Chain A
């Protein structure tokens, strides 16, 4: 299904998306059941645009088309001081019902969005991964649950930057 060795499928996906973009944005929360093929493709697409945004607000807008409110039901585990900005372990989990997506932003990175995870029904809303941080920054975890956006943030101090050189 994902033998994307040429541009072929990517292009197709992108074209499908362009057609479906408006509808997808409007109804992404409500289409968990009875997906059409076009929606399935749209939902699958790599969010190229969101990864190009410098600010986290713009990245969130591009990804979800709405804004997030802070919630203590979003749990963000990150170190106070990163041992090395190249490898910062970050875990996001949530006790909210119907989580469909988890995204992580590093506000001071050149591009804010670091990772975005789709959480299909039946998958536990918790993910651990390791991210690069250019310097001391806020890390924002955004959780989409029941069509709404929730967030938590934490400052991580970086003494050895993860963008090399």
Chain B
């Protein structure tokens, strides 16, 4: 199974820049389907990025984050070959995680 998470983490001189894209419908609960029924809310609530056993970024999201959400941030430290762990959980108890290597 292909992961729902795509990450690009690049170590620079002082910081590691992280970009992530997650495949998720991010249904807001305000949109109707073809039959006119409201599609129930289904969205990622939390994304956690960990490096070296420490949280480097935590995203708390509501339903107003776009479908297939994108994030970009940077943290100090991190070097090529280090692990970066990404995990997300959604409002229906779904979750996924991935450990990526910093480039």
Contacts and interface: CB of A to CB of B under 8 A. Distances in A.
B60 A46 contact: yes
B94 to A, nearest CB: 8
B23 to A, nearest CB: 14
Interface residues on B, range: 35 or more
B32 to A, nearest CB: 6
B3 to A, nearest CB: 16
B62 A115 contact: yes
B55 interface: yes
A116 B46 CA distance: 10
Nearest to B17: A124
A136 to B, nearest CB: 15
A86 B89 CA distance: 22
Given A122-B75, A122-B77, A110 B54 contact: no
Interface string A114-141: 1111111011101111111110000000
B87 interface: yes
Interface string B39-67: 00000011010100011111111111111
A124 B32 CA distance: 39
B35 to A, nearest CB: 13
B65 A131 contact: yes
Contacts of A6: 93
A106 B70 contact: no
Given A2-B48, A110-B30, A165-B31, A129 B69 contact: yes
Given A111-B64, A162-B66, 17 more contacts: A2-B46, A2-B89, A51-B62, A91-B72, A106-B64, A110-B30, A114-B64, A115-B60, A117-B58, A118-B60, A120-B75, A126-B74, A128-B73, A130-B69, A132-B63, A163-B30, A164-B32
Interface of A: 1-7, 44, 46-47, 51, 86-88, 91, 106, 109-111, 113-120, 122-124, 126-134, 162-165
